[in-house]
């Protein structure tokens, strides 16, 4: 096998392991940050600083009884969480995670393998990632409809409403940067901003950046757009009947989507894994991703969530016109 194939396989395993671990760690961070913002302690008892809480939760989820409601469509009911988790991971395959590196020759078996920055550098990277995340909406949609529960139906109706409308804004908001860079590959985006902070696209496209963030929040189902499973209104929405491992897969999917959106925001608008002064590239990307992740938690602690009609209003009457205007202006500027 040639070096690149081995490297890619290593990368796949790495991404799978790291991201599922990060998804678990994300829940811990989320609970801690929310707790501190509300002047509480968060998890403290299991392990040092409550760190092993992740493991405890994992064991709990894995060993729970697997319940499928009587009138549910069993096949679709079991398929839906897989869709969410799988699409979330597939989306990550076209996202650059670290700079390309070569494993030193001295290591046995895998020595000399080239680990690429992207698992699959498809030349339509952004479209692929966005498409995969959009395909992920079949997870909540099917889950809600298969479980024979009225809260589930409501949840999936909201899924359709929310994801479909925000897909438009996401697409339109990245269109302007795409016009500037002239490529759909995330690698090209990265190299286009290689000239340090000054060359970040965020300075040329602040509106597109804000729109992308808002749409990203809606697509990852975060506050203030967490209508899909808002407890006070529709119990748990599309996950009402789920428990144990299946529920955990929804969770992993959601958290990896959060990471994907954070990485996308960092790569498209904030220079990706380009070196940042004395900070090496991979660390810089990590810092940016951590910041965007923190932003999601921060917003969740601060802002109330909005009604479905307000959500639609915001999307179709405010964000989409703004995005279109932004594209038109970008187009004119690019032409001149």
Partner 1 sequence: MHEEIIHTENKPKEKQNYVMLDLGKSPEFGLPAFKQVVKRSLNGELFVGLWVTLREMAKTLFMGGKHTTKYPMEKLPISPRYRAIHNMLRLLESGHYRCIGCGLCEKICISNCIAMDTRYDENQRKEVSEYTINFGRCIYCGYCAEVCPELAIVHGGRYETASEQRASFSLFDDMLTPIDMLKQQQEFQGFGSVSPNADAAIKKTPLAY
Binding site for partner 1 (CB under 8 A): 33, 36-41, 44, 298-299, 301-303, 318
Least distance between partner 1 and beta carbon 299 (Å): 7
Least distance between partner 1 and beta carbon 304 (Å): 9
Least distance between partner 1 and beta carbon 40 (Å): 5
Tokens linked to 10: 């290593």
Distance CA 29, CA 32 (A): 5
Nearer residue to partner 1 within complex by CB, 67 or 318? 318
Q: Which residues neighbour 208 within 8 Å (Cβ) at sequence distance 6 or greater? A: 173, 174, 176, 177, 269, 323, 326, 330
**Burial degree of 168 (CB within 10 A; 0-12, 13-18, 19+):** middle
Nearer residue to partner 1 within complex by CB, 90 or 314? 314
Distance CA 305, CA 32 (A): 21
Least distance between partner 1 and beta carbon 63 (Å): 26
Token pair 């991979």 is found at: 282
Nearer residue to partner 1 within complex by CB, 199 or 302? 302
Nearer residue to partner 1 within complex by CB, 44 or 183? 44
Distance CA 274, CA 86 (A): 29
Nearer residue to partner 1 within complex by CB, 268 or 297? 297
Least distance between partner 1 and beta carbon 33 (Å): 7
- Coil, helix or strand at residue 118: coil
Least distance between partner 1 and beta carbon 213 (Å): 12
- Coil, helix or strand at residue 114: strand
Least distance between partner 1 and beta carbon 282 (Å): 27
Tokens linked to 264: 């996308």
Nearer residue to partner 1 within complex by CB, 40 or 60? 40
Distance CA 240, CA 158 (A): 14
Taking the CB of residue 83, how many other CB atoms lie within 10 A of it?
22
Nearer residue to partner 1 within complex by CB, 12 or 299? 299
Distance CA 253, CA 84 (A): 5
């Amino acid at each position: 096998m040639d070096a690149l194939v081995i490297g890619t396989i290593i990368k796949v395993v790495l991404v799978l392991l790291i991201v599922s671990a990060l998804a678990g760690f994300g829940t811990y961070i989320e609970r801690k940050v929310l707790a501190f913002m509300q002047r509480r302690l968060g998890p403290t008892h299991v392990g040092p600083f409550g760190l092993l809480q992740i493991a405890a939760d994992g064991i709990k989820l894995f060993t729970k009884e697997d319940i499928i409601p009587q009138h549910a469509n069993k096949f679709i009911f079991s398929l839906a969480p897989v869709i969410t988790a799988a699409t979330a991971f597939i989306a990550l395959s076209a996202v650059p995670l670290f700079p390309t590196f070569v494993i030193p020759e001295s290591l046995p078996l895998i020595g000399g393998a080239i680990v690429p920055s992207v698992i699959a550098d498809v030349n339509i990277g952004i479209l692929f990632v966005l498409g995969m995340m959009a395909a992920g909406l079949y997870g909540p949609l099917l889950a809600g409809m298969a479980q024979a529960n009225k809260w589930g139906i409501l949840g999936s109706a909201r899924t359709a409403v929310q994801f479909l409308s925000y897909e438009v804004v996401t697409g339109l908001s990245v269109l302007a940067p795409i016009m500037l860079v002239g490529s759909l590959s995330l690698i090209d985006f990265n190299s286009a901003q290689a000239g340090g902070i000054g060359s970040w696209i965020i300075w040329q496209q602040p509106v597109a950046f804000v729109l992308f963030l808002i749409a990203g929040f809606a697509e990852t189902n975060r506050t203030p757009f967490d209508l899909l499973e808002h407890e006070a209104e529709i119990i748990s929405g599309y996950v009402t009947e789920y428990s144990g491992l299946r529920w955990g897969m929804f969770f992993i999917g959601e958290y990896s989507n959060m990471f994907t959106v954070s990485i996308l925001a960092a790569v498209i608008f904030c220079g990706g894994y380009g070196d940042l002064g004395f900070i090496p590239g991979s660390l810089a990307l990590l810092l940016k991703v951590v910041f965007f992740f923190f932003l999601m938690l921060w917003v969740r602690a601060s802002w109330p969530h909005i009604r479905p009609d307000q959500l639609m209003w915001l999307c179709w009457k405010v964000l989409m016109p703004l995005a279109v205007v932004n594209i038109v202006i970008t187009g004119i500027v690019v032409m001149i």
